[in-house]
Structure 1
Amino acid sequence: MIAETILRLVTARDAGKTVCPSEVARELGGPQPEEWSPLMQPIRRIAVRMTKAGEVAILRKGKPVEDPDDFRGIYRLGAVATAPDET
């Protein structure tokens, strides 16, 4: 359910726009911090898995993290950038 919510929110955003993990948590847990804050660690774990699978990108300061297993601080989730077609 977390992965599906992440994908839904990320794909609903305009190109170049990102999703805060707390938005995912609020969507699943409700508006009160005691409802959604316990979801933050599971969301991070699933976001890492999804990044490794190429489904989403974890971004820090607007740039994809180099190692999804080893990043700290505030992050956002976005669509995976595709290379421009060179034909």
Structure 2
Amino acid sequence: MTDPIESAIFDHLNRLAPGKSIEPSDVAKELQPEQWQRMLPKVRGVAVGLAREGRLIITKKGKPVDPNAFKGVIRLKLPDAPGDDDPA
């Protein structure tokens, strides 16, 4: 069974242009609009797990952070696809 938070994170990210990011609160507000603040720690926790697996990148001020040691406002983005850095 797929985790609804994980699904919501990837649904949000897949709607964006490559390299763009989202705030965890965007996902929390989609899942529980009335009580999104309560959902936010769960979204961040799932994001940390996905980052540890290499399926997601957590950024702060546009730079990747260690999923085991960060504080404050973060954003979530998909890892770059292999070969994205190659000139066309």
TM-score range, shorter chain: 0.7 to 0.9
TM-score by length of 1: 0.86
Between the two proteins, the alignment pairs up a number of residues equal to: 82
Equivalent pairs: percent with the same residue? 34
CA distance in 2 between partners of 1:70 and 1:80 (Å): 19
Counterpart of 1:42? Answer: 42
How far 1:82 sits from its partner (Å)?
3.1
CA distance in 2 between partners of 1:64 and 1:70 (Å): 11
Unaligned regions of 5+ residues in structure 1, if any? none
CA distance in 2 between partners of 1:63 and 1:39 (Å): 25
Deviations 1:23-55 (A, max 9, x none): 00011001x4xx100011111110000011111
Amino acid at match of 1:61: K
Task: Name the one with the larger helix percent.
Answer: 1
Unaligned regions of 5+ residues in structure 2, if any? none
Amino acid at match of 1:48: V
Residues 1:82 and 2:53 are matched in the alignment = no
RMSD: 1.4
CA distance in 1 between partners of 2:7 and 2:82 (Å): 24
Q: Which runs of 4+ in 1 moved over 4 A?
A: none
TM-score by length of 2: 0.85
